[in-house]
Structure 1
Amino acid sequence: MSVWPALAATAIFVVAFVFIATEKINRVAVVLGAAGLMALLGLVPGSHVFYEQHAGIDWDVIFLLLGMMIIVGVIKQTGVFEFLAIWAAQRSRGRPYRLMVLLMAITAALSPFLDNVTTVMLVAPITISVCRRLGVPAAPYLIAEVLASNIAGAATLIGDPPNIIIGSRAGLSFNDFLVHMAPVTLLMFLAFLVLARVMFRRSFVHHPERFEAVRDMDARAAITDPRMLVRCLVVLGLVMAGFMLHTVIHVDVAVVALLGAGLMVLVTRADTSAYLAEVEWPTLVFFTGLFVMVAGLTETGVIGLIGEWASDAVGDNYLTAATGLIFGSAVLGAFFDNIPYTATMAPIVENLVAGAPDPVTGEALWWSFALGADLGGNGTAVAASANIVVLGIAARAGEPISFWQFTRYGIVTTVLTTVIAWGYVWLRYFAA
């Protein structure tokens, strides 16, 4: 490995990572600047960065996210998300904790299939509106929702951006994630429901007179186009079936998402400007620049060197490796956005897996990595994209959430769920 290119790539990446973590400069501008600088210095593999999956931009990730964003953008035009929020408020009968549980349940049910960033973008504004009607502070509900979303999103390939990166790198299918991640995700979510009752207990103030106004709202009126909703649900069901059967029908999940988006647009004749406005273009550009940055580390040999060091440190003790991936990823992921962290670590974990004595142990390392990266996203206010999105929505709505207000709840949640995740990995893959 040539020393100077490796040092240059590392320096560019570290500086960019610091700017991303501190949010001193817009993160999209940071990754584009860093990617451009690496290209200018010849640290990335030229035109190959656009064509080689493990040495450049992972287009499977980009197009999977694009397809799902378009699908959600079309579904949003039906008003079904507003219906769910009003329904939850009415079903709770104005009881704050019951309302929180229902909103978290809706968020958790959507996150595994619509990705957590998209889900919180849809649910958070509605939550603010309902909380104002009930006269309760919105911040605890928003924090609880995003924490629940990050937990529930771990259940599937598309639920959390780190999973998309890991699945693409490791060749893990939608069904693989369901079988290995969904059971522990459900357990962690149930534990979080109990924890939320304790953490947010001081915010649960019941105003019976406020509930009267919500009780009289017509939830069904929120659905503006029932026929369009039926068509959307049929197509969404086909997309979910495609995700679960993609290893049988041999169609990549990114292609399934794009076909589903095209079919939904075709059968609903949705407003093009409306659903394209829902696409998170900055997020897609961020991913693209990030992959170029990671390609610079891979091409200059930095990733390989770190992987060799990690393999030597672990030796033959793969339980230690799994433990390090769970807790180490949770700690590091809590201080840095888990998307760049996952993209950086994925090649290193791949090297560890290559030396595993059997496929089960190798997969256990991937699941440990996925759990740690996903759960670390709850650690601080800047640890996951969903967190940042919710804080922005809250600030614009006049319901600001400070860094430490979020973080003090996030740290407790991360500790609890990470311990549960470690116990699950140990029992399922190493105790036998």
Structure 2
Amino acid sequence: MTVVATILIFIVSYIGIMLEKVNRAVVAMTGSVLLLIIGVYPWSDAFSTYIDWNTIALLFSMMVLVSITKKTGIFSFIAIRFAQQVKGHPLHLLIGSAIFTAVGSALLDNVTTVLLFVPVILTLTKMLLLPSFPYLITIIFSANIGGTATLIGDPPNIMIGQAVEHFTFLSFIQHAAPVAIILLLLLLIVIAKLFKNKLQPKEKNKIEELMKMDASKDLIKSPMLYQSISILSLTIIGFLLHTFIHIDLTTVAVCGALLLLLVTDKELGAEKVFKEVEWVTLFFFIGLFMLVGGLERVGIIDEIARGIMWITEGDLPTTAILLLWTAGLFSGVVDNIPFVAAMIPVINELESYGIDNLDPLWWSLALGACLGGNGTLIGASANVVVAGLAAGENQSISFIRFMKYGVPIVIVSLIVSSIYIYVRYLYPYTLILPLVFS
């Protein structure tokens, strides 16, 4: 009876998260509390075993770092100067937006990047009398592609990085960044051809108005500006070097956040910073970890692992490609975060079924979940954020119209990723395997 109740609670919570009629953090926390009520596990186990506090602390620290840095106006300054550098040319602005968003998503995270960049793009498109839709969907696509490249770029990568002990910040750059760069180049070619005719300069006086804008007007030239840039840069360097300095990623992020809070306390105040932390996202993750923990506790995760092994018969190449496409297609239907949370214990369980090298499976999950988020407006957190910001400016994005572009982008991304996964990880495996048994 407990097993059936746990499955029902998980499914209902999942549907509630997908529909977004009620705040998703409230839905996740409600489901997790129901698991406690029916006795699936006690509070002590939830806190010590199932909630991944490393992921929570890493997310919290990055939110603090970006929140303080944002108040200096540096992100708006960069965006406006960038628009001036391309002289307001619509197509160049579109291509530049994709590159800017992809790089920002890799270094900060995709949700933070779109929160900072979308309001500026909406202002620029309104000023230049340009359609906002091409820019908004390009930002979404490039945010999810760019977020694929690093450990902190997309929440699923953070979760996978925390779950696999030997995965470092450099690991994601070495393994995920190459395919992300290929896909970004393909995206630039496609969007340039799709929107070339629609994005022509309208009025010269509008471009002249942009060129006369003082990008530094909102830039707060105070000690906080230099402190924020320096500490954020040091934190990113710490991510790159953490294996050499023998300090884990979470500790690096927490140290960076605390240091910035300390040096800016008199000028800004920690209370103001904490008010801007995305607590809803953090509590959503906590509830999500508890929901997935319930499935693990009653044995559902083990059964899913058995099912995958039954379908693939334990063949690593088949399992990896199946996982990539399942993750990609499933993440287009619902938010990729709960899917990855459910799949992490499944992959860990596969080790007990004879698959000794799980790395190709982890990279398949990461690529599928991050890239599959481009399929629909609810496929990834960044998509939902962009849609919300656009709606607030009366520039709503149609769900169906987005899918017309999103689904083909996902299919192409998964085909490219399949080739990449096979050539880099699976083809060498198929060559070595016969030698082992010969």
Q: TM-score range by the shorter chain?
A: over 0.9
Once the 2 structures are TM-superposed, how far is the Cα of residue 353 of structure 1 from its aligned partner?
4.3
Q: Answer yes or no: is the 8 Å Cα contact 1:20–1:30 preserved in 2.
A: yes
Preserved contact between residue 170 and residue 350 of structure 1 (Cα < 8 Å): no
User: How far 1:108 moved relative to its partner?
Assistant: 0.9
Identify which of 199, 216, 224 aligns with 1:204.
199
Q: Equivalent of 1:250, from 246, 250, 270?
A: 246
Query: CA offset at residue 248 of structure 1?
Result: 3.2
Write the letter of the residue equivalent to 2:178.
Answer: P
Distance 1:301 1:368 in 2: 24
Q: Deviations over 1:257-297 (max 9, x none)?
A: 11101111222345234433431111111001111111110
Residues 299-318 of structure 1 aligned to structure 2 (within 5 Å): 299-318=297-316
Residue identity matched to 2:303? L
Q: How does 1:406-425 map to 2 (within 5 A)?
A: 406-425=402-421
After superposing the two structures, state which structure 1 stretch, 213-222 or 182-191, moved more.
Answer: 213-222
Deviation at 1:337, TM superposition (A): 0.5
**Which of the residues 360, 365, 373 maps onto 1:364?**
360
In the alignment, structure 1 residue 386 sits paired with structure 2 residue 382: yes
Q: Which residue is 1:158 aligned to?
A: 152
Instruction: Give the residue type in structure 2 aligned to 1:285.
Output: F
Residues 321-365 of structure 1 deviation map (CA, whole Å, 9 limit, x = unaligned)? 111111111111100100011101111122224545543xx2111
Task: Render the CA deviation track for 1:188-237: whole Å, top value 9, x for unaligned.
Answer: 11111111123334541312331010011122333222643322222122
Q: Tell me which residue corresponds to 1:340.
A: 338
Which residue of the partner structure matches residue 58 of structure 1? 52
Q: Does 1:231 align with 2:227?
A: yes
Kindly indicate whether the alpha-carbon contact (under 8 Å) linking 2:305 and 2:349 is maintained by their aligned counterparts in 1. yes
**Are 1:183 and 2:181 counterparts?**
no
**Is contact 1:337-1:385 (8 Å) kept?**
yes
Q: Which runs of 5+ in 2 are unaligned?
A: 429-438
1:375 corresponds to 2:367: no
Q: Which residue of 2 aligns with 1:29?
A: 26
**Counterpart secondary structure, 1:220:** coil
Question: What is the root-mean-square deviation in Å for CA atoms of aligned residues?
Answer: 1.6
Task: Report if the CA contact (8 A) 2:102-2:146 is conserved.
Answer: yes
Segments of 5+ residues of structure 1 without an aligned counterpart are: none
What TM-score comes out, normalization by structure 1 length? Answer: 0.94
- Write the letter of the residue equivalent to 1:103: S
Q: Distance in 2 between matches of 1:415 and 1:236?
A: 36
Select between 369-378 and 232-241 the one with higher mean Cα deviation: 232-241
1:125-174 deviation per Cα after TM superposition (whole angstroms, max 9, x unaligned): 11111111111122221211111010010111111000111111122221
Query: How many Å separate the matches in 2 of 1:100 and 1:312?
Result: 46
Equivalent residues in 2 for 1:92-171 (5 A)?
Answer: 92-171=86-165
Q: Is the 8 A contact 1:353 1:363 kept in 2?
A: no
Give the TM-score, by structure 2 length: 0.93
Q: Residue type of the partner of 1:204?
A: L
Q: Supply the distance in 1 between the matched residues of 2:277 and 2:376 (Cα, whole angstroms).
A: 25
* Distance in 2, Cα, partners of 1:371 & 1:50: 29
Residues 1:119 and 1:316: Cα distance change in structure 2 (over 3 Å): same
Matched residues in 2 for 1:234 and 1:307: separation?
A: 45
2:91–2:200 contact (8 Å) kept in structure 1: no
Q: Which amino acid aligns with 1:150?
A: N
Secondary structure, aligned partner of 1:193: helix
Q: For residues 222 and 148 of structure 2, what CA distance do their matches in structure 1 show?
A: 31
For the Cα contact (< 8 Å) 1:83–1:220, is it kept in 2? Answer: yes
- Measure the CA separation in 2 of the matches of 1:117 and 1:84: 18
Which residues in structure 2 correspond to 1:45-84 (within 5 Å)? 45-52=42-49, 56-84=50-78
Q: Counterpart of 1:280? A: 278
Report sequence identity in percent. 38
**Cα–Cα, structure 1 residues 62 and 28, in superposed 2: closer, same or farther, change >3 Å?**
same
Are the equivalent residues in 1 in contact too, given 2:107–2:152 (CA < 8 A)? yes
| Matched pairs, number | 424
| Contact 1:246–1:252 (CA under 8 A) maintained in structure 2 | yes
The one of 173, 183, 187 equivalent to 1:192 is 187
Contact 2:336 2:379 in 1 (8 A): yes
State how far apart, in whole Å, the 2-side matches of 1:112 and 1:226 are.
27
Q: 1:43 aligns with which of 20, 40, 45?
A: 40
Which residue identity does 1:11 align to in structure 2? L
Q: Does the CA contact (< 8 Å) of 1:333 and 1:383 recur in 2? A: yes
Give how far 1:245 is off.
2.6
Asked if structure 1 preserves the Cα contact closer than 8 Å seen for 2:95 and 2:192, the reply is no
Asked if 1 retains the 8 angstrom alpha-carbon contact of 2:316 and 2:355, the reply is no
Please list the CA deviations of residues 46-104 of structure 1 after superposition, one character each: whole Å capped at 9, or x if unmatched.
3111012xxx1101111100000000011101111111211122122222110011112
**Residue pair 1:107, 1:119 contacting (<8 A) in 2 also:** yes
2:91 and 2:57 map into 1 onto residues whose CA distance is 38
In the alignment, is the contact (CA less than 8 A) between 1:327 and 1:418 conserved in 2? Answer: yes
> Is contact 1:311–1:351 with CA below 8 Å preserved after alignment?
no
Answer yes or no: is the 8 Å Cα contact 2:145–2:183 preserved in 1. Answer: yes
- Residue 247 of structure 1 and its aligned partner are, at CA, apart by 2.8
Q: Is the 8 A contact 1:79 1:225 kept in 2?
A: no
Q: 1:94 to 1:238 in 2, by over 3 A?
A: closer
